[in-house]
Amino acid sequence: MTERVSTQSSGEAAEALARRHLEQQGLRLLAQNWSCRRGELDLVMLDADTVVFVEVRYRRHTAWGGAVESVDARKREKLTLAALHFLQKESRWAKHPCRFDVIAISADGKSPPQLNWIQNAFDT
């Protein structure tokens, strides 16, 4: 149970770091941890007129692969379905261009976290 709480708080801290970084770059938050039966969207941001679906991935160890590699085909499909559901429910954004970004955060516990923002990380 402690491991799960620790992992959850690490994930929340990573999302907060990613959100701050994106807001400093001029993006505006539309939704955070938006969920539906299809899945969850970590951050939904607005970059000028583009709706950006942001997947935040945090890795403390790279033994099972890095944060970027963890966004595999199955995860991309879940994100795409959740994004489509978001656009159906939040129809005011449906006519805007959209993209999928990944923010990969790695930390070894000794140095500050490294943030890698990959814009337009994949197409649907």
Please tell me the least confidently modeled range out of 1-5, 31-35, 86-90, 96-100: 1-5
For residue 11, the model assigns a pLDDT of 78
Residues 108-123 pLDDT 10s: 777 788 899 999 998 8
Q: Which residue has the higher pLDDT, 3 or 62?
A: 62
Give the Cβ contact number of residue 12 at 10 Å.
13
pTM value is: 0.86
Separation of alpha carbons 76 and 72, rounded Å: 6
- Decide yes or no: CATH 3.10.440.10 for domain 2-122: no
For residue 124, the model assigns a pLDDT of 75
Domain spans, the chain: 2-122
Provide the residue type at 118 as one letter.
Answer: I
The stretch 36-59 carries a mean pLDDT of 94
Residues 51-80 pLDDT 10s: 999 999 987 655 445 556 678 889 999 999
For residue 105, list its beta bridge partners.
58, 115
For residue 70, list its beta bridge partners.
none
For residue 88, the model assigns a pLDDT of 96
Separation of alpha carbons 19 and 54, rounded Å: 9
Cα angle value 9/12/13 (rounded, 5°): 85
